[in-house]
Structure 1
Amino acid sequence: MGKGQSKSVESASTPNEPWRTLTWSEKTEIFKELEDFKPHSESNSIIRILLYGPIGAGKSCFINSVQRVLLGRNSAGALEQGAQMGKSFTNTIRTHKLKRRGGGRYPIALTDITGLHAEDGRGIQCEDIIKVLEGHIADGYTFNPEQTITENHQHYNQNPELQDKVHCLVTIIPADAVSRIDSKVIEKMKTVRQKARDLNIPQVIVLTKVDQACLMVNKNLRMIYHSRKIKEKVDESYNKLGIPLNKIYPVKNYHAEITQNEDNDVLILMALRDIVNFANDFLEDLEDREGLSVDY
């Protein structure tokens, strides 16, 4: 009886047709695109991508997962720890320039910052995230949950160049906890999102922990776009933040695994490729509007 009931529950969560199509054999093609990638802007040598979101959403884990896929081995560039309620493990701003297999680096950088908390005086302040967007906060700054950075601080960049500024904003949200994100955190995320909009910075959502949100996906990652539960999480993320559905990417970070998983890799690479392309489009649009002496 228990077995039949479980099968019925899984069937109920599975639509007849996938709600998004995916070619699982694309890994080599996407990898080559990233290998060959060069920023469009002649005045900017690197794509800068900012990751932000609630405490414990998996920002650092996503960075390590991206780097792991690109290297083809385990990676621990971004410090992370197991889930700990109410506390962000990342307390400084750190930019990770992605490494290539065989040496060298991609012209792609992922910036990691402290997570958002519902309570004032805990987590990162919205104003500091906005200053990161604008390129005013240099790597190594330790965020103060009670006070934003001041202009006379040694890590404050008075005159940021284009490469110091953010070219794509990535919101990291845990799929298993979308419904439980505090409304105050959502409001803070909207504040950041509105500023990014004013700066014309492209925005996406990376939905982590899909394996914890759906048993069927936990058993078989290739069912991710057949799962009604994951579709509901994507829709809920859209409803809470307003980021378009086609810019929401469900992924499974590497967590307990010590060997590569092709399906994990494809989902992560698809998200990374689009994020990089959106950032590159942003730079191209800036040049089209204002020439090489871009300012925003």
Structure 2
Amino acid sequence: LLYPWRTLSTEDNLNFLKSYQPRKKEVKHLRILLHGPVGAGKSSFINSVESVLRGIVTDRAETDATSGEQLHPKESPYSIVFNDIMGLENNADNGVHVEDIKLALRGHVREGYKFNPYGPLTENNPGYNSNPSLDDKVHVLVCVVPVDSVSLLDDKVVQKLREVRLAASDLGIPQLAILTKVDEACPEVRSNIHNLHKSKYLKGQVEKFSVTVGIPIKSIFLVKNYESEINTSDDISRPILTALKQMTVSLLRQTVFPQAVKCLYQCFSTS
């Protein structure tokens, strides 16, 4: 493409995130849950966000591309918490159960719980939170998928993604998507990150993913995670910061608020 199909904001997203604070005392952080297929780059994205916010490349989130057995709560220096959940798989006996993700959305999964691929969390399990607070509940849901896997997603995985999306919609939880590994999927981006939004292939993958899962194009973001780099770069950080800012403001952009979401709206309004 001669011109980028999306231009990144020139606003100071970092200053916005620094000034962002929940207004209710009982809500300490905006809780963002990452979910998606195994090996999608969820933990790598958390590390990348941490790197951008700290200004140095970090590797704090434990990564396990095979199982992702831990629920990783990672607090940044800002008022945001990411939760990384075990990946989805097409086999019923592998990966996280959809019912466990639904429980996590409602705050019933305690931090540190190890997900069991052979059965969902039950109320008599010590990892079950029977009385979740507003701070325990998920406020924003983010689906993470490698951009070159969009056309290869198994039908069963797509069905699970749609089921999770429907559950989040019923709870009034805003949803976004991150398409990762853009440099591996597109040679033009590998040679120059400035081609990120000029690539016809990447634009086509965004459109295809939107149709497949049902997330609007405006809520789907292309990012390159920090992986082999030893220093942060504005070119890599800018798309990550743009996506992160949209996560923080997405709740405020909801046009229809169930009663519970109205409360969240009041909690997370910025001054």
Q: TM-score, normalised by structure 2?
A: 0.92
Listed as ranges, the matches of 1:230-241 within 5 Å are 230-241=202-213
Q: Counterpart in 2 of 1:66?
A: 49
Listed as ranges, the matches of 1:43-122 within 5 Å are 43-80=26-63, 87-88=66-67, 90-98=68-76, 105-122=77-94
Q: Counterpart in 1 of 2:107?
A: 135
Q: Which amino acid aligns with 2:221?
A: Y
Listed as ranges, the matches of 1:1-296 within 5 Å are 15-23=1-9, 26=11, 29-80=12-63, 87-88=66-67, 90-98=68-76, 105-279=77-251, 289=262
Q: Number of residue pairs matched?
A: 265
Indicate the RMSD between aligned Cα atoms, in angstroms: 2.1
How far did residue 261 of structure 1 move?
1.4
How far did residue 279 of structure 1 move?
3.6
Q: Which amino acid aligns with 2:73?
A: T
How far did residue 22 of structure 1 move?
2.4
> Which residues of structure 1 form unaligned runs of 5+?
1-14, 99-104
How far did residue 281 of structure 1 move?
5.3
Q: Is the 8 A contact 2:172 2:261 kept in 1?
A: no
Q: Is the 8 A contact 2:8 2:242 kept in 1?
A: no
How far did residue 249 of structure 1 move?
0.4
Identity %: 40
Q: Which amino acid aligns with 1:68?
A: S
Q: Which runs of 4+ in 1 moved over 3 A?
A: 40-43, 279-282, 284-294
How far did residue 45 of structure 1 move?
2.2
CA distance in 1 between partners of 2:148 and 2:126 (Å): 39
SS in 2 for 1:205: strand
SS in 2 for 1:163: coil
Q: Rg: which structure is higher?
A: 1
Deviations 1:140-193 (A, max 9, x none): 111110111110111110010110000000000100211111111010111100
Q: Which amino acid aligns with 2:92?
A: D
Q: Which amino acid aligns with 1:46?
A: H
CA distance in 1 between partners of 2:217 and 2:189 (Å): 20
